[in-house]
Amino acid sequence: MIIRAENITKTHRLGEHTVNALKGVSCEVPHGDFLFIVGPSGSGKSSLLYVMGALDEPTSGDIYIGEQRMAALTKKQRDEYRRLQVGFVFQSFNLLRNLNAIDNVLVPFFPQGVSPQLRKDATTLLERMGLGDRLLHRPNQLSGGEQQRVALVRAILKRPAVILADEPTGELDSQSGAEVFRILRELSSEIGSTVVVVTHDTRYIEAGDRILKMQDGQIIGEQTA
Ligand code: ADP
Ligand code: MG
């Protein structure tokens, strides 16, 4: 699924202050790409990622998902796109403190009901991540790397067309970080997801990855590693 951004601006308002986080950004993420968005803190990386995932609306400009213009969808359709097609991974894991690992993975499915098959799939994926003996642990009983692996399983279990990750290794040591990227690459290629990763850690970029460089709310360069 191709994601296309056309002349996106995003103005954040905070009280009387406004910040122009995106100043006319256009880019295309082809289906199956592994794309890194890099750039200094405050350059607009997260703002662009959230607009792509319909977590936030642009101030002007258009996001297209395939041929579909996002702004032409109803709120319900946008919510559906986000819920069914997009897997998010955040720097701070965003796990629910009072749920164990397996329930954290399954919680997005609670509203529609969790089938025994889905529970089995979740368990299998967690086991593959080396978390087989951590299924009943709560987040505060897991290391940062383990928590992020749980968050990855949660994002991937729905087999999303797009995986969006915002500084997914920002709070991890380099060994856990490398493990998170290994898993992200392995699973996304299995299910054929497009992956967009915001990072300022360029160690995990591999040959063939696409790189978008941002600065001051604009894209200042595009290259293939
Ligand atoms: P990055 O992810 O590259 O660090 P962001 O997209 O988070 O950049 O932020 C770009 C600019 O927008 C920054 O100056 C930031 O302070 C500002 N900003 C981001 N989110 C908000 C918000 N919700 N309210 C006000 N300002 C924001
Ligand atoms: Mg950010």
Could you tell me the pTM of the whole model?
0.93
Give residue-wise pLDDT tens across range 71-95. Answer: 999 999 999 889 889 999 998 999 9
Of the residues 46, 49, 220, which should be mutated to test ligand 1's pocket, given the most ligand atoms within 8 Å of the CB? 46
CA nearest neighbour of 90 among 184, 9, 198, 208? 198
Query: Going by CA atoms, what residue is nearest to atom 25 of ligand 1?
Result: 12
Pocket of ligand 1 contains residue 16 by CB under 6 Å: no
Instruction: Return the SS3 of 112.
Output: helix
Ligand 1: centre distance to CA 95 (Å): 23
Backbone φ and ψ for 10, nearest 5 degrees, come out as -140, 120
CA 44 to chain centre: 15
Q: What protein residues have CB closer than 5 angstroms to ion ligand 2? A: 46
The CATH class of the 3-224 domain is alpha beta
Atom of ligand 1 nearest to the CA of 47: 6
pLDDT band at 201 (very low <50, low <70, confident <90, very high): confident
Which tokens belong to 219?
């894209």
Q: What percent of the chain has pLDDT over 70?
A: 100
Pocket of ligand 1 contains residue 140 by CB under 6 Å: no
pLDDT band at 200 (very low <50, low <70, confident <90, very high): confident
For residues 88 and 1, give the distance between their C-alpha atoms in angstroms, rounded to a whole number: 16
Give residue-wise pLDDT tens across range 6-50. Answer: 999 999 998 899 999 999 999 999 998 999 999 999 999 999 999
Pocket of ligand 1 contains residue 14 by CB under 6 Å: yes
Identify whether the C-beta of residue 90 lies closer than 8 Å to the C-beta of residue 170: no
Q: How is the beta sheet containing 218-224 ordered, strand by strand? A: 86-89, 162-166, 194-198, 34-38, 210-215, 218-224
How confident is the model at residue 138, as a pLDDT? Answer: 97
Ligand 1: centre distance to CA 21 (Å): 6
- Domain ranges in the chain are 3-224
Pocket of ligand 1 contains residue 2 by CB under 6 Å: no
